Structure 1
């Protein structure tokens, strides 16, 4: 009996060795290609034979006569470390193996973030498809894509989230002409207070739409023979609209306004301004009605032709 007691005192430690097993860092965030080092140690050798080691998918090593063992990589590039178990262990005969787990996350900024459109020019009413392509980034499960809309007043609006290749459908309208879109890759990792960001260049959209007459000569104007007459017909459209007029004298007016230096009785009647481009046209009908020999009364009436 005395012999057995002596053997037990030699083979087994008198203290709990598991409580002394430590790692220098149990949660690591490592950028792709950067070095990493973790030390596993015990304060002193146990009173019995032991083995101190590392175990993981990409690395295994152990020692039977040292009180510390370093796991290191001069350039970590193996994505297998993400989501896999990695631990330092201490084994003593006839006792349960002690373990200290290490959570290791490898991440990488994208090589590129590119935004593109299926067409360089869209017509109003079409559905525009924008694509955001993010190359060589990880870990993918922590990646989201943020779309941002920047209008011509530089007001920014966040749109939505997506995956590695994300598409955004936008209805083409005149409000989208000249608007810029940008996509941003966000890596959201617990160990970082701010997400890692990679952004595309801004993509400016061009939307073609038919003209709409926005500036009109309105109200009632009384004129006497010899007065000046100016009729304005300004339209907004893309491409820029061209103008044509139908007038009592059938003169070829191609500007957005008509100027008559001296009104005569032959100038009374109907004036139609038409603004047109490849997307369509808008028209304004105006009348000058002769009431007396020496005066005119100007009355406006508008009609839109589709």
Structure 2
């Protein structure tokens, strides 16, 4: 409780005058006047020490501090809560204590008799926010790559708002958290609870599809405050970002394929919404089969050489990629066939030559004139045999 007398003594200025007269044989009078004046409202006087010099107190919690002097003096505490009147006796230490701090602008001040010396306690009363929320200023349905959107973080009923730091974060689909921006408003003169609104312009890219956005409120009250500083996170916003297709396969390149082989090209692209596909081919062919993103050609011929262009399309745009295909002839089988034919021809010629030579060498020893006498002798023998048989 603060007494009126204590308050009046705190603000009272005292002037003391002392008149001293000296007479010298009546010739003349010397008058000297000494003036002393106490300095009012001396908040930084070294005659008093407050410990702790700074307090950080949560609203509704107790608080206390000591005021001390090197020499015993009459002292008191002036405060809206826990005030102590000027002591009757001289003391070196006087305690200020409150069971529950409920005054946002409380400024306890320790003073001595007549206000010759006084010291103010540096005290901060704080309150954590009731809630922290994040939203879009205008809800996007859906978000589009490259467009700008305004995020809004609302921190409700916090004090002191000048010590509040708000940070916007993005959390990727892999769980990696990235800081987007940190903001702090200069409102050091506001001690009572306030609502704080913080905004951020956000331009999403295709990599942000499926990510989450949030904001975090941290009340940084310095080394005397709670450690680590209290932090409250908001809800999370799921992002659905639409973007035009970008072909990832097969890629734009040139290739060679052997005549008679099968060509198969599979086109795929990243896009939201999911893209549809189309192929531009060098020519129509009955061997060509197209199934969505895949084109297949069997028994490739030289006429199939050319550019094969895939087109991926969604409502936001399209992406194209061209594969240059060259059909080549494999001469190895031809050479192998020719070599085999040559071998066959050589074998035929060899067989014919050998056959002709064999007939000439072997069949030339048998003459008709050599055969007939032998047949005659044989006949004579036969007849002789017959005659022999007749005499039996």
What corresponds to 1:199 in structure 2? 233
Deviation at 1:260? 3.7
Greater Rg, structure 1 or structure 2?
Answer: 2
How far does the alpha carbon of each residue in 1:124-161 deviate from its partner, in whole angstroms, 9 at most, with x for none?
A: 22102211111122211111212233444544443332
How far does the alpha carbon of each residue in 1:47-95 deviate from its partner, in whole angstroms, 9 at most, with x for none?
A: xxx5x432235564425447676543333233223xxx4202232xxx5
Deviation at 1:212? 1.2
Tell whether 2:62 aligns with 1:35. yes
Change (3 A) 1:96 1:34: closer
Tell whether 2:293 aligns with 1:256. yes
Give the one of 207, 216, 220 matched to 1:188: 220
What corresponds to 1:301 in structure 2? none
TM-score, structure 1 normalization: 0.70
Q: Which moved more, 1:254-263 or 1:58-67?
A: 58-67
- Alignment check: 8 A CA contact 1:129 1:167 kept: yes
Give the one of 35, 56, 78 matched to 2:79: 56
Change (3 A) 1:86 1:121: same
- Alignment check: 8 A CA contact 2:208 2:239 kept: yes
Q: Greater share of strand residues, 1 or 2? A: 1
Tell whether 2:165 aligns with 1:144. yes
Give the one of 161, 172, 178 matched to 2:182: 161
Name the CA distance, whole Å, in 1 between partners of 2:270 and 2:299: 30
Tell whether 2:117 aligns with 1:80. no
How far does the alpha carbon of each residue in 1:179-232 deviate from its partner, in whole angstroms, 9 at most, with x for none?
A: 33332222222324643322224434221100011212632222323x221012
- Alignment check: 8 A CA contact 1:120 1:205 kept: no
- Alignment check: 8 A CA contact 1:233 1:273 kept: yes
- Alignment check: 8 A CA contact 2:81 2:101 kept: no
**Unpaired segments ≥5 residues, structure 1:** 1-17, 295-306
SS at match of 2:85: strand
What's the C-alpha RMSD, in Å, of the aligned pairs?
Answer: 3.7
**Unpaired segments ≥5 residues, structure 2:** 1-44, 186-195, 332-392
Name the CA distance, whole Å, in 1 between partners of 2:327 and 2:110: 102
Give the one of 15, 22, 25 matched to 2:52: 25
Change (3 A) 1:30 1:170: same
- Alignment check: 8 A CA contact 1:249 1:266 kept: no
Q: Which moved more, 1:227-236 or 1:279-288?
A: 279-288
- Alignment check: 8 A CA contact 1:108 1:139 kept: yes
- Alignment check: 8 A CA contact 2:259 2:328 kept: no
Name the CA distance, whole Å, in 1 between partners of 2:250 and 2:315: 22
Tell whether 2:106 aligns with 1:106. no
User: How many pairs align?
Assistant: 266
- Alignment check: 8 A CA contact 1:58 1:80 kept: no
Give the one of 141, 146, 149 matched to 1:125: 146
Name the CA distance, whole Å, in 2 between partners of 1:105 and 1:24: 15
Give the one of 184, 205, 219 matched to 1:173: 205
Change (3 A) 1:75 1:119: farther
Name the CA distance, whole Å, in 2 between partners of 1:132 and 1:178: 20
Deviation at 1:240? 1.9
TM-score, structure 2 normalization: 0.56
- Alignment check: 8 A CA contact 2:300 2:327 kept: no
Give the one of 246, 253, 257 matched to 1:222: 257
Deviation at 1:101? 1.9
- Alignment check: 8 A CA contact 1:150 1:157 kept: yes
Name the CA distance, whole Å, in 2 between partners of 1:32 and 1:261: 81
